[in-house]
Amino acid sequence: MAPAYRLGLIVLLLALSACCAHAADSWELHPEWAEDFKAQSVSGTMLIYDEKAQRYLVLDRQRAETAFAPASTFKIFNALTALETGVIADEHVTLKWDGTKRWVADWNRDHDLASGMKYSVVWYYQEIARRIGQERMQAWIDKVGYGNRDISGGIDRFWLGKGGLRISAVEQIGFLRRLADGALPFSARGQDIVRRITIVEQGDGYVLHAKTGWKQVDGETDLGWYVGWIERDARRWFFAMNIDMPNADDAGKRAGLARTMLQRAGALEKSAAPTR
């Protein structure tokens, strides 16, 4: 068989495989979830992927396929890239606080990669992005195929509201599934570290990985993200929620609202009691 023909055949088979895998996923609409959003005086979308059932459960599919600035959900990618490039050796590398008082009290101290993820410390992840640099960041964005791959707007703010980077809830889940599988083009060690520092809750038989995001642009309604996955009973459910937040206190509704949807989807039991 000629090399060119063989290569073409391989590409075709891979394309057909990807197509069939995508076609196997079903979509289940849940317009009734809007009542839970309404009860919290917010609007948005919730997308859950039940891996075992190969099924998406969604409120507002069109919005789930619409791309928005990732805001601090990008810290997951940023951490992976920092570890891969050697900018940060591990999750315990501490950067000194510069003494500038910021609006979140927990940001006003020294942080490491893990605490920077936990408290969503913008200045810490801006600094590691500057150390990675534009060229290396773009190369990894392209290699992974993250969102629209646009990092215009500044190396330390392209993922924030006025930057060029955009990603949809569907794409968020695709990225997180690859991370959970260790299938991203980063080292196994780096992916293991990031999986570990994104654990926000553990209970009897389950683990919850999650990350918030909050896009703020003057003159625009704030946007809130909550993305992650649950591992329970040898099953996994991936999720991505984004909501419009007309008021600052709406940010505190993200995790609770997502938890309600995850319970409705059977991913999380109502009696689940976190140990962390």
Residues acting as catalytic residues: 72
Which tokens is 222 given? 């704030």
DSSP classification of residue 76: H
Instruction: Give the separation between CA 70 and CA 73, rounded to whole angstroms.
Output: 6
Residues 6+ apart with CB under 8 A from 241: 44, 45, 46, 47, 169, 225, 226, 227, 254, 257, 258, 261
Instruction: Give the separation between CA 14 and CA 8, rounded to whole angstroms.
Output: 10
Q: Are strands 26-29 and 55-59 parallel, antiparallel or unpaired?
A: parallel
Q: Which residue's structure tokens are 């890239």?
A: 81
Which tokens is 205 given? 């038989």
